[in-house]
């Protein structure tokens, strides 16, 4: 509904980025899983999506920035423990997820969803499931991990990413810590 034909647009999503050292650690751990079917996601693209906006007219960016700035305010730091490997067969994804609920994350996500709903983004997902994608086109059982996953995403900022041809570019960011 936001995209109008012939107007310049971008494919956007809000996410928590994964910092370089942690990307490397997660990619190295993924290697310990042995040969996996599917297509491994490049470490530089590791992230935890908060909300996918889809194709958005660039004329809407100022409104999105303003709304995000109102809700992505410094407060409780977000530390998200990713300690469970799951295979999402419908999506064909191998993902890392929090084994325990992450209430501070969910609060942030709901606030962001509400702010975007107010701008007219109607397709807010019914159910939010935090995950960090590792492999796509994955349809096998969950691989046995010799080393149990235990990563803590120390999220210091929310980033609005543009997704273009399989690469992400940060357009704006809001710090989460004072
Ligand atoms: P590509 O689709 O070009 O192969 P990608 O999946 O990495 O690459 P996008 O499809 O732009 O890039 O997705 C960016 C982020 O938004 C990813 O975290 C993806 O899981 C999420 N996403 C994409 N489409 C949807 C959707 N329809 N609903 C919810 N999240 C989505
Ligand atoms: Mg995609």
Q: Looking at the CA of 41, name the nearest ligand.
A: 1
Q: Is residue 16 part of a domain?
A: yes
What pTM was estimated for this model as a whole? Answer: 0.95
Domain containing 37: what range? Answer: 9-175
Q: Is residue 54 part of a domain?
A: yes
**What residues contact residue 147 under an 8 Å CB cut-off, 6+ apart?**
29, 32
* Domain count along the chain: 1
What's the gap in Å between 13 CA and the centre of ligand 1?
A: 8
The dihedral through the CA atoms of 57, 158, 100, 25 has a sign that is positive
Q: Is residue 4 part of a domain?
A: no
Mutate to test the pocket of ligand 1, among 14, 47, 49 (most ligand atoms within 8 A of CB): 49
What's the gap in Å between 144 CA and the centre of ligand 1?
A: 26
Q: What is the pLDDT along the chain (178 residues), one digit of tens a residue?
A: 556 677 899 999 999 999 999 999 999 999 999 999 999 999 999 999 999 999 999 999 999 999 999 999 999 889 999 999 999 999 999 999 999 999 999 999 999 999 999 999 877 777 899 999 999 999 999 999 999 999 999 999 999 999 999 999 999 999 999 8
Return the pLDDT at 7.
86
Which domain CATH number covers 68? 3.90.1140.10
Q: Are 63 and 119 in contact (CB under 8 A)?
A: yes
Nearest-CA residue for ligand 1 atom 2 is 166
Q: Is residue 164 part of a domain?
A: yes
Return the pLDDT at 111.
95
**Can you spell out the DSSP letters for 124-153?**
--SS----EEEEES--SPPPP-SS---EEE
Distance CA 58, CA 10 (A): 6
């Amino acid at each position: 509904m936001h995209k109008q034909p012939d107007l310049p647009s971008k494919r956007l999503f809000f996410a928590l980025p994964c910092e370089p050292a942690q990307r490397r650690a997660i990619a190295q751990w993924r290697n310990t899983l042995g040969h996996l079917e599917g297509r491994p996601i490049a470490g530089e693209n590791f992230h935890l999506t908060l909300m996918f906006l889809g194709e958005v007219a660039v004329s809407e960016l100022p409104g999105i920035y303003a709304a995000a700035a109102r809700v992505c305010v410094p407060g409780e730091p977000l530390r998200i423990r990713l300690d469970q490997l799951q295979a999402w067969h419908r999506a064909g994804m191998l993902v890392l997820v929090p084994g325990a609920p992450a209430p501070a994350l969910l609060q942030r996500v709901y606030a962001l969803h509400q702010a975007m709903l107010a701008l007219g983004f109607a397709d807010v997902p019914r159910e939010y499931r935090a995950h960090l994608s590792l492999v796509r086109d994955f349809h096998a059982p969950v691989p046995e991990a010799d080393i149990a996953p235990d990563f803590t995403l120390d999220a210091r900022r929310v980033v609005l990413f543009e997704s273009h041809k399989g690469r992400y570019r940060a357009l704006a960011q809001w710090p989460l810590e004072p």
